[in-house]
Amino acid sequence: MSLFFKSPLDIEIRLDDDGHRQYTEIKSSVSGRVDKLPVYKDGESVKGTVTIRTREGRRVEHTGVKVQLMGSIEINTDGVSTSDFLTMGKELAVPGIIDHEVSYPFEFKNVEKQYESYRGKNAKLRYYVKVVVSRKSSQELTREKELWVFQYLQPPPPTDDRALTSVKMDVGIEECLHIEFEYSKSRFNLKDVIHGRIYFQLVRLKIRHMELRLVRREEVGTAPNQITDIETLVRYEIMDGAPVKGETIPIRLYLSGFDLSPTYSDVNKRFSSRTFLSLVLIDEDARRYFKQSEIILYRD
């Protein structure tokens, strides 16, 4: 931020338990920058201290100081549009003059954080603490500190058929190829293992190799102006060479080693981010055949 160089005030936001709290490293899919952010849970209080210092002995008159806890969704299509789904605020100081260092404690108790934080290519869901120093004839002075929210969910109940029923996909070309791909369930936590098998029922193509992929599909906006971005997160080669009829290949894909995020479905009617398991076959003429199915990812 340019505040450090241009503002007559230095505004610092320090969160309680900063030194003992879990942190996570989040990479921007656009700039590639990595930020280390404190992790918060749904229902957890957010508290800390705001410290304001003057620069070069200046006296700064203000019309009030407030702190806000914000949750917002930013969509970047033809331009950045922002919508807030969480706004909480507290007044820290009445109008007056700041001519020395002052500190203000704040607390937002038991805050409901209904979504998990997200950074995608065209969508962001972020939580942040924002301090605003208002002034009569000058631009207000602000400082922000971002949080990262994890949504911890319980494993699906035993009665949830989607969690327990195996999923089968058929890849086929009439009289040339018939492959059955089966995996154990459709819902996985982020540290889970995908168990499955590939069974070759008919092979009359000269297959060069086969890949298993995890693909993220991000959708923002609504039709007909919806924008979709597809990113391959994992590419795992499971076969090299031509198989024969009746052959079976076992599959074990460990999810914990990859940078995955939970499934986001129509969040606040602004965006979705879903993950698909895709089986890709490439023949000797470089032709591709694939079939994919959505898997639901959650954090527990």
- Looking at the predicted structure, is the pLDDT value of residue 5 above 80? no
Mean pLDDT of 3-26: 83
Q: Which domains does the chain have, with CATH numbers?
A: 9-149 (2.60.40.640), 161-298 (2.60.40.640)
CA dihedral 120, 125, 126, 127 (to 10 degrees): -150
84-88, 157-161, 231-235: segment of lowest average pLDDT: 157-161
> Bigger pLDDT: 202 or 275?
275
Q: Quick one: pLDDT at residue 2?
A: 44
Confidence (pLDDT) at 64: 95
Q: In this model, does residue 154 exceed pLDDT 80?
A: no
Which pLDDT does position 212 carry in this prediction? 92
Is residue 4 predicted with pLDDT exceeding 90? no
Q: What percent of the chain has pLDDT over 70?
A: 93
Residues 134-143: what's their mean pLDDT? Answer: 90
Confidence of residue 207 (pLDDT cuts 50, 70, 90): confident
